Amino acid sequence: MSDNNIDGKVVVITGASSGLGEATARHLVAQGARVVLGARRIDRLQAMVEEMKANGGQAIAVETDVSDKAQVQHLVDTAITAFGRIDVLINNAGLMPHSPLERLKVDDWDRMIDVNLKGVLYGIAAVLPHMQRQKSGHIINVSSVAGHKVSPNGAVYAATKHAVRALSEGLRQEVKPWNIRTTVISPGAVATELPGSATEPDIADGMKAFYDATAIPADSFARCVAFALSQPDDMDVNEILFRPTRQAY
């Protein structure tokens, strides 16, 4: 591996077909990582992989719905079969269908819990045995500013993202014997498809206006990932909270 501590690493990324996941995949491949990309939109992933390979990168696409434990296991198994190891897992897949609790959007609540929380747990379950055996690895979980602050209409989303931070801290403490690093990254408003997951038209309009006025590009997140990964193995960057300079919330 080169001095960047990224070159040659095998990196599994969920939610890789757009937004934070796509930006991170492109950023890390350019630094020599071998990426295994999971998302539901396999056509998007395959197009990314073809482009990466054409530019000399190593990449694999695996259709993955993170709310299905078996599919997450298959994503990780594919990485092991192809590359013999897994150095980094980025639990990035997420949904943000905001709504006031009184509207009782219970299906949206369930989807957020299934993807934002259980999806992260399934990722951890799939990679931990491999990282324990290797006595190395790095798990990066994606929270949010909403994992630090709650806002009206975002109660359930904030609950899932607070849970990701709690889970990440417990994981951090438990994996010390195996030299595994853990990072939780909490982005503010970053330009992705996430606001488009809102199912209530009035809420969606408000979110779009906020993001249009505030959001910064997804590369901002990719640079945070690269920063955490590139530190020497004896340094564990546990938490990064970042926002657009102009974001107050």
Task: Identify whether 249 is a catalytic site residue.
Answer: no
Pairing of strands 10-14, 88-91: parallel
d(Cα 210, Cα 204) in Å, to the nearest integer? 10
Q: Identify the active-site residue in 122, 157, 211, 249.
A: 157
- CA torsion 43→45→46→50, rounded to 10°? 140
Q: What CA–CA distance (Å, rounded) separates 242 from 185? A: 8
Angle subtended at Cα 172 by Cα 169 and Cα 175, rounded to the nearest 5 degrees: 145
DSSP 107-169: HHHHHHIIIIIIHHHHHHHHHHHHHHHHT-EEEEEE--GGGT---TT-HHHHHHHHHHHHHHH
What token pair was written down for 180? 């595994």
**CA distances (Å), 79 to each of 68, 105, 167, 209, in order?**
17, 36, 24, 39
Looking at residue 18, the DSSP 8-state letter turns out to be S
Strand ranges (E), the chain: 10-14, 34-39, 58-63, 88-91, 137-142, 180-187, 239-242
By annotation, the residues acting in catalysis are 157
